[in-house]
Structure 1
Amino acid sequence: MEPVLFYGIPHGCSFGSIVALEWLGQPYRLSRIDMLASPAPYGRVNASRETPTLLLEDGETLSESFAILQHIAARDLDRKLGFPQGTRAHDRLNRTLAYLHTSFHSAFAPAWIAYKLAEGDPAKAVLRDIAHDKAAKGYAHLEALLAGRDWLDGGDGRTVADAYLVGIARWGEDLSLFELAREYPRVHAHLQKLEADPAVIFAHAIEDGLPATTSGRFLGHVSLEELVPRLAA
């Protein structure tokens, strides 16, 4: 059976892995995980109960966006979503992905904690301020990085770094921390370009539970319960 991506809602970083799978053009399925509910059976798939997780054909699982995106890219290097290991292009992409996966992604963690707090909780504003300050440094770095570039890693075409970026850079506006068009116009323009891509449009529809037209080879959803027998011992 084809690989299955467990993706999280609402607005998880797994969004980028859905986009990358669409760009890859190989058969895959999806399994939807409500991260606010944190279903107990998902602990069988990912002990930390975080998304995304990719269930491979042999029943093994692969977690962490960085690893999943590089795995997707390596499935068909002719697609040029990634590059052969040992090349400068691979190192450049690794550096970009590492920055997104660690420094930039983690900057929003306080705001996501605040999102789950009740209105009126005094910690809410403090956490949002911390997230704003940390994420502002990330956006400023990306703004500088995109100067004179058509794609995030500086190559000739889109890569898994662009797929990951569109899934996490949206958080600044999702969480009402920034006005990207005014504060970081290069980042905003790059995101707008990506938002017009059929794979990104598809991923939004999937997240929102709306009818979605694949431009890749998406074969449908499968439930967590159906997948348990596939898990490696």
Structure 2
Amino acid sequence: MTPILFYGVPSGCSFGSIVALEWLGRPYRLSRIEMPEVVTSDAFRRINPVGETPALATDGGAIVTESMAILNWIGARGIDGSLGFAQGTPEFDRLNQMLAYLNTTFFNAFVPLWHLYEHASDDTTKAVLREFGTIKVKKAHAQLEAMLGDRPWLLGDRRTLADAYFAGIARWTDYHGVVNRADYPNLDRLYRKLQQDPAVRFANTIEAEGEAKSAGGFVGHVGLEQAWAEIVAKREQRLAA
């Protein structure tokens, strides 16, 4: 079974997993999940009971959820290509430290703004959420700006899964418009460089439903029901073996 990544639109953090799969270069498929309608449906909760993307159906029919787990799954298969690192090495620890920061701090900073976008509120609540979100986003940008410094990539001289994940979250700065990325020149430099990467351009085109040309291993889209049927069939095959 060719792995399937269930990615959320619009502007899901699963964007980073698409980029990482492109960098990996192995065959994979995509399943487009509209948010919030489809992602919260009973049909998708068969894939992920939490009702969130991304989720990954592996070649063995197992389901992996949460960006950090999916990125580490990809990284374990990309060690030879310098995409990930062997567990137990200092490089592996540094990568997971950066992924954890991006997930728990950088991502989390936008949560009040996403809540404001997705839920109806009175004017007072909207103002409080926007102010709180702005403070958190500014703080996270300042921290990551200092962590990056003048290095070409988040971990140093080569791109890693952390840069793929950053590419998907950093665009929320433009989406919500509460800070100017140009005020953080190191982050702005990295973001602009990533925008020129073929895998990032591919992921942007995929989300926009354009004619995307893969530079990696993309072999097509699959519908949610077909994907679920394949997962069930693979599991039954394994049980019968």
**Shorter-normalised TM range:** over 0.9
- 1:76 CA displacement: 2.5
Q: Distance in 2 between matches of 1:128 and 1:68?
A: 31
SS in 2 for 1:31: strand
Kept after mapping to 2: 8 A contact 1:117/1:124: no
Aligned AA (2:133): A
Stretches of structure 2 lacking an aligned partner (at least 5 in a row): 237-241
Match of 1:160 in 2: 161
Equivalences for 1:22-171 in 2 at 5 Å?
Answer: 22-37=22-37, 38-118=40-120, 121-154=123-156, 156-171=157-172
Deviations 1:211-230 (A, max 9, x none): 10100010010000101121
SS in 2 for 1:122: helix
Stretches of structure 1 lacking an aligned partner (at least 5 in a row): none
- 1:40 CA displacement: 2.5
SS in 2 for 1:190: helix
Deviations 1:119-160 (A, max 9, x none): 864322211211111111111111111212111012x21000
Q: Distance in 2 between matches of 1:90 and 1:7?
A: 25
Match of 1:219 in 2: 219
Aligned AA (1:201): R
Deviations 1:27-67 (A, max 9, x none): 00000001121332000000011000000112110001011
Deviations 1:73-102 (A, max 9, x none): 111211111111111111111100110011
TM-score by length of 1: 0.95
SS in 2 for 1:59: coil
Aligned AA (1:160): L
> How many residues of Structure 1 are paired with residues of Structure 2 in the alignment?
231
Identity of aligned residues (%): 51
Runs of 4+ in 1 over 6 A off after TM superposition: none
- Say if 2:191 is the partner of 1:191: yes
Aligned AA (2:54): P
- Say if 2:169 is the partner of 1:177: no
